[in-house]
With several copies, the nearest count.
Chain A
């Protein structure tokens, strides 16, 4: 079914590469089981107790972040492609949601958050595969006032949106089957280790390791997805007609609707990352709102000056840029920091989707690199500045590290994410290309992915 016809020579190559893939895939689990180290951080506290308010907010946050992917991101991206490919975008977001949910249940959660194995700096163990041991009354080890089931769901929504972000880059030309295989591998082999390194108590990059600050996913989600997006367009190549033919959005109302949903849902993303309904969540919400607004105006202003008119797509892109950039900072910076981060994000990402993209000429269809990778980098670095109390922030750790010290930590975490995700994504894409072929045929691309991949069309207004 999934495998296209292959000649004997090619088949042998496939076999070899598949073997390699399996080996790589096998490393983590084995690593995970290697050693059952001592019980993790938490423990010892004065008998943890579920807090219904915190739980209420985290249940809500989970819904909000899921809402970001479906329908939020699906609509944001869907409106930007040509009519003939709109369903392929919606379908990919929808099915990635399903796929990652299952992967997360099987092993993803455990690999990301169940530490204590021999490679605890890099990856978790498989002790909680199939969510084993998580009962109705189990509290989340990393957030002792809410049930672990809620924590599993909340983190799952992050694991869902990250690969979904990538599809914007290779939109309008990747085979559906190839996309599924790639995302399965990517979720397990790229998302899991990065997530573990940054957010697990003993992860190499986070609080228990290097000490880089990433409140809600600047590295884990945005830089990670953004650089994988770059890898994907380098491997799959440009769309037919790029850059001579214009590919104007087929439905800007859909895109603005999606952007609005992303904005609203992002409150779950950032304020939810407090894993509690408290002042930290409140401040995270406030700075998210402020940075996003500022970035919207910033992008709009630059566009108005540079191109004569402010566009709706510009405003929406600015908002997303602001949301991306404030993500790593949202638990550490104050309102003034948020204004600064928003201002910078709008302008920088504007350049990302115009200047930078033109400079290198890659065909990042929906600007995942320019907005998510660049915005994520800007946010991560500026977090290193505005998290300090002297710049209106709240991070004692950053104060201790000092401006330069913290910036180095931030840069290191960005660098590791960039390199690991880029290289691993490249390898996985090549493997998938050999296995089933990444790209649809020219004729299919011309006809559109909706009919060729899914046997459907988006609109039938005259039916």
Chain B
């Protein structure tokens, strides 16, 4: 199994979620993160004090999938999340040794199906 971690622009969440659903992914965990990268933040001003917001709001999706779905998932994300402009984000693939569904105790691919 693999964990696919995807960092995207917040307003792309809906689209990526749907793209994943289309390739049969139903389990996703989402968190709000702040990103620091090539895309530069905007300036805010408070009473003359300039304040550069370097960390931009991003959304992280994580989904653990069986190895055979990896390609489809990556493709789906690439398509749905890309705007072509800087700051679109990244996909990271991380090995997962085991997955367990708490409710049933199912393990392995069954747990993430």
Contacts and interface: CB of A to CB of B under 8 A. Distances in A.
Real binding pair: yes
Given A245-B14, A451-B42, A462-B32, A317 B47 contact: yes
B45 interface: yes
Contact of A246 (B10, B11, B49): B49
B44 A354 contact: no
A246 B47 CA distance: 11
B44 A456 contact: yes
Interface in B43-88: 43-53
A258 to B, nearest CB: 15
Given A243-B49, A462-B32, A248 B44 contact: yes
Contact of A249 (B32, B46, B52, B53): B46
Contacts of A245: 14
A390 interface: no
Contacts of B51: 246, 248
Interface string B13-55: 0100000000000000000100000000011111111111100
Contact of B47 (A309, A367, A451, A457): A367
Interface string A361-377: 00000010000000000
B interface majority secondary structure: strand
Contacts of A446: 11
Contacts of B49: 243, 246-247
Q: Which of B43, B47, B49, B53 has the most CB of A within 10 A?
A: B47
B40 to A, nearest CB: 13
Task: Say which size band chain B's interface belongs to.
Answer: 10 to 19
A358 B48 contact: yes
A121 to B, nearest CB: 39
A307 B49 CA distance: 10
Contact of A353 (B10, B44, B48, B50): B48
Nearest to B14: A245
Nearest to A462: B32
Interface in A419-463: 446, 451, 455-457, 462
A313 interface: yes
Contacts, number: 44
A359 to B, nearest CB: 11
A138 interface: no
Contacts of A248: 44, 46, 51
Interface residues of A, number: 24
A307 B11 contact: no
Contacts of A456: 44-46
Interface in A240-291: 243, 245-249
A307 to B, nearest CB: 5
A311 interface: yes
A247 B52 CA distance: 11
A354 B47 contact: yes
A357 B47 CA distance: 10
Contacts of B45: 307, 309, 311, 455-456
B43 to A, nearest CB: 7
A163 B48 CA distance: 26
A313 B48 CA distance: 11
Nearest to B47: A353
Contacts of A249: 46
B30 to A, nearest CB: 10
B77 to A, nearest CB: 20
Contacts of A247: 46, 49
A78 to B, nearest CB: 15
B52 to A, nearest CB: 8
B108 to A, nearest CB: 31
A451 B44 contact: yes
Contacts of B52: 246
Contacts of B32: 462
Contacts of B14: 245
Contacts of A354: 47-48
A259 B105 CA distance: 49
A249 B44 CA distance: 11
Q: Which of A246, A247, A307 has the most CB of B within 10 A?
A: A246
Interface string A314-350: 1001000000000000000000000000000000000
A313 B46 contact: yes
A377 B44 CA distance: 30
Q: Which of B10, B43, B48 has the most CB of A within 10 A?
A: B48
A455 B47 contact: no
A321 B45 CA distance: 19
Contacts of B44: 248, 451, 455-457
A68 to B, nearest CB: 21
15 contacts: A246-B46, A246-B50, A246-B51, A247-B46, A247-B49, A248-B46, A307-B45, A309-B45, A313-B47, A317-B47, A367-B47, A446-B11, A451-B44, A456-B44, A457-B44
Given A456-B44, A457-B44, A462-B10, 19 more contacts: A246-B46, A246-B49, A246-B51, A248-B51, A249-B46, A307-B48, A309-B45, A311-B46, A313-B46, A313-B47, A317-B47, A353-B47, A354-B47, A357-B48, A451-B44, A455-B42, A455-B44, A457-B53, A462-B32
Interface of B: 10-11, 14, 32, 42-53
4 nearest CB pairs, A to B: A354-B48, A246-B51, A353-B47, A248-B51
